[in-house]
Amino acid sequence: MSRPGRSSPDDGIPAAEERLLRHVDGRLHPDEQAALAAMLAGDPELRRRVAADRAADTAIRVAFAPVLEEPVPERLRRVVRDGAARRRELARMAAAVLLALLVGSGGGWLAGSSRQDGAPAETLAEAAMAAHRTYAVEVRHPVEVAATEEAHLVQWLSRRLGARLVAPDLSRFGYALMGGRLLPASDGPAAQLMYEARDGRRLTLYLEAERGDGETAFRFVESGKLSGFWWREEGLGYALLAETDREHLLPIARGVWEAVQRGS
């Protein structure tokens, strides 16, 4: 805070005025006590002012103290209770995701004929990888609709997929949205959003409308240099892919998941 004798940072008020305010609030630095005593000693007007300020504070506190004693209305207590319940539910889901990551790390391979789950779930990761390989190398036409038309892009893809899409903001991970495109998929259209890092590395988020397969936890897949996380949640299947390692991709996948939860 301010040194004795100097004005506040940002130069709000004169130092002497600040001294008085601090004194009224019982927050005066010990170094300033002498200066304050000198100010007050020769000035009954100032002493009257300090007394008036303190009386005003007391009046305010006394006037509103009864509110503290009132029983808290049920509707407010209910909001906290319901909010807490919702948060516990989300925390459980997050824990389930984390657990699946730990459990699935050994068994998340997708190579050749070693299939872990039923065919439909595998198809999401395969389709996403095929789309990534096809378009991430594109120099002239990496996307169909650019991020400059992001609102239109999201609206268009949401309409075709029949579910509310979100284009997560991944800038804090160093990836900027380039845009997206619509893709054919076995059970209806899918969408691909493409992001680019400053070093030119590309990341895609593949989205597929739900096919009644229900929720899955995070799964990790790897094929050649390409690795990714995929999961299903109400309404959509997601696959996040990039040519990078798992440790680098995991926080981004969590970031995507959180953005989807938020709806932004």
Q: Counting contacts by CB under 8 A, is residue 53 touching another protein? A: yes
- Of residues 75 and 140, the one with the C-beta less far from another protein: 75
Q: In what order do the strands lie in the sheet with 236-242?
A: 145-146, 175-183, 190-197, 202-209, 236-242, 226-233, 219-223
C-alpha distances in Å from residue 126, one per residue of 100, 101, 129, 157: 20, 19, 5, 20
Tell me whether residue 224 is exposed, middle or buried, using C-beta atoms within 10 angstroms of its C-beta: 0 to 12, 13 to 18, 19 or more: exposed
Minimum gap (Å) between residue 262 Cβ and another protein: 8
Q: Counting contacts by CB under 8 A, is residue 55 touching another protein? A: yes
Q: Residue from 30, 66, 200, 224 that binds another protein (CB under 8 A)? A: 66
* Residues 150-169, mask of contacts with another protein (x by CB under 8 A): --------------------
Q: Counting contacts by CB under 8 A, is residue 93 touching another protein? A: no
For the packed helices 44-69 and 15-24, what is the interaxial angle rounded to 10 degrees?
A: 40
Q: Residue from 30, 44, 70, 172 that binds another protein (CB under 8 A)? A: 70
Minimum gap (Å) between residue 56 Cβ and another protein: 5
Minimum gap (Å) between residue 25 Cβ and another protein: 6
Q: Which parts of the chain fold into alpha helices (H)?
A: 15-24, 33-41, 44-69, 74-107, 119-135, 150-161, 246-262
State the sign of the Cα–Cα–Cα–Cα dihedral 156, 157, 162, 165. Answer: negative
Minimum gap (Å) between residue 13 Cβ and another protein: 5
Task: Give dist(CA 115, CA 37) in Å, integer.
Answer: 83
Q: Within 13 A of 181's CA, how many CA atoms are on the CB side?
A: 17
Write out the two tokens for 97: 């995701």
Q: Counting contacts by CB under 8 A, is residue 29 touching another protein? A: no
Minimum gap (Å) between residue 228 Cβ and another protein: 24
Q: Residue from 27, 140, 141, 172 that binds another protein (CB under 8 A)? A: 27
Q: Counting contacts by CB under 8 A, is residue 44 touching another protein? A: no
What residue ranges bind another protein (CB under 8 A)? 1, 7-14, 16-18, 20-21, 24-25, 27, 39, 45-46, 49, 52-53, 55-57, 59-68, 70, 72-73, 75-77, 79-81, 83-84, 86-87, 90, 258, 261-262
